[in-house]
């Protein structure tokens, strides 16, 4: 007994594409799985000094994060293959028919790049203040008197917390002697 296919030639490729399009979340699963493997591989090759070993060493967090990424990727893949679908983005007060606001995206990109370049010569307190103020401006805040003061305070607070309380040295720049 022979069976004939009623699909036109080349239709198997379109059905494969349609199947993948309906399960596009599998791409996120692949990304999570790849990141998990990368984190675990990096943790396995990490140099650990024998004297620094203890019950919880520097490899613990990467192992937990990598295993978590693998677990979440696997659980999401199972859900997607069982028919689970991500909810379409409704957004809060967002009109999905409107185009992207590229001005804001470009302003934020410029602010982040400028902060990355300026953190060395100016130090974290000044570069961080510029980062915080520029981000607020790019996202629409127009309080020209208040925003720079809040940005400076937030930057100094962040600097003190990381540098003094957490022991993470941040570049102080020209303010190093003052702070």
The reply to whether 115 and 65 lie within a common domain is no
The reply to whether 72 and 35 lie within a common domain is yes
Choice between 95 and 170, residue whose per-residue pLDDT is larger: 170
The reply to whether 77 and 113 lie within a common domain is no
pLDDT reported for residue 138? 93
User: Do the domain assignments include residue 110?
Assistant: yes
Give the per-residue SS3 of the chain: CCCCCCCCCCHHHHHHHHHHHHCCCHHHHHHHHHHHHHHHHHHHCCCCCHHHCCCCCCCHHHHHHHHHHHHHHHHHHHHHHCCCCCCCCCCCCCCCCCCCCHHHHHHHHHHHHHHHHHHHHHCHHHHHHHHHHHHHHHCCCCCCCHHHHHHHHHHHHHHHHHHHHCCCCCCCHHHCCCC
pLDDT band at 88 (very low <50, low <70, confident <90, very high): low
**24-33, 43-52, 110-119, 158-167: least confidently modelled range:** 43-52
User: Do the domain assignments include residue 97?
Assistant: no
User: Do the domain assignments include residue 90?
Assistant: no
pLDDT tens digit sequence for 6-64 = 545 555 667 777 666 666 788 889 999 999 999 999 988 887 766 555 567 777 889 99
> What percentage of the chain reaches a pLDDT higher than 70?
78
The reply to whether 74 and 106 lie within a common domain is no
**130, 118 in Cβ contact below 8 A?**
yes
Domain count for the chain, please give it. 2
User: Do the domain assignments include residue 157?
Assistant: yes
User: Do the domain assignments include residue 41?
Assistant: yes
User: Do the domain assignments include residue 109?
Assistant: yes
Cα distances (Å, whole numbers) of residue 155 to 13, 120, 169 = 54, 15, 14
> In whole angstroms, what is the distance from residue 173 CA to residue 124 CA?
7
Residue 111: pLDDT over 60? yes
Taking each helix axis as running N to C, give the angle between helix 102-122 and helix 124-138, from 0 to 180 degrees, rounded to the nearest 10.
170
User: Do the domain assignments include residue 95?
Assistant: no
pLDDT reported for residue 99? 82
Full domain range(s) for residue 23: 14-47+58-81
The reply to whether 110 and 77 lie within a common domain is no
The reply to whether 108 and 166 lie within a common domain is yes
pLDDT reported for residue 151? 95
What is the average pLDDT across 117-145? 93
């Amino acid at each position: 007994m022979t069976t004939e296919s009623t699909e036109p030639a080349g239709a198997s490729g379109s059905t494969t594409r349609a199947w993948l399009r309906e399960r596009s979340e599998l791409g996120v699963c692949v990304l999570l799985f790849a990141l998990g493997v990368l984190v675990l591989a990096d943790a396995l090759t990490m140099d650990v000094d024998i004297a620094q070993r203890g019950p919880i060493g520097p490899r613990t967090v990467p192992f937990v994060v990598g295993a978590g990424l693998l677990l979440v990727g696997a659980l999401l893949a199972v859900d997607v293959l069982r028919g689970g679908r991500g909810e379409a983005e409704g957004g809060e007060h967002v009109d999905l028919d409107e185009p992207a606001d590229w001005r804001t995206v470009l302003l934020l990109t410029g602010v982040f790049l400028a902060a990355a370049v300026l953190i060395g010569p100016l130090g974290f307190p000044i570069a961080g203040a510029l980062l915080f103020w520029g981000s607020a401006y790019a996202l629409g805040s127009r309080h020209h008197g208040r925003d720079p003061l809040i940005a400076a305070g937030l930057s100094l607070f962040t600097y003190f917390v990381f540098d003094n309380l957490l022991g993470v040295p941040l570049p102080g720049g020209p303010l190093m002697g003052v702070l």
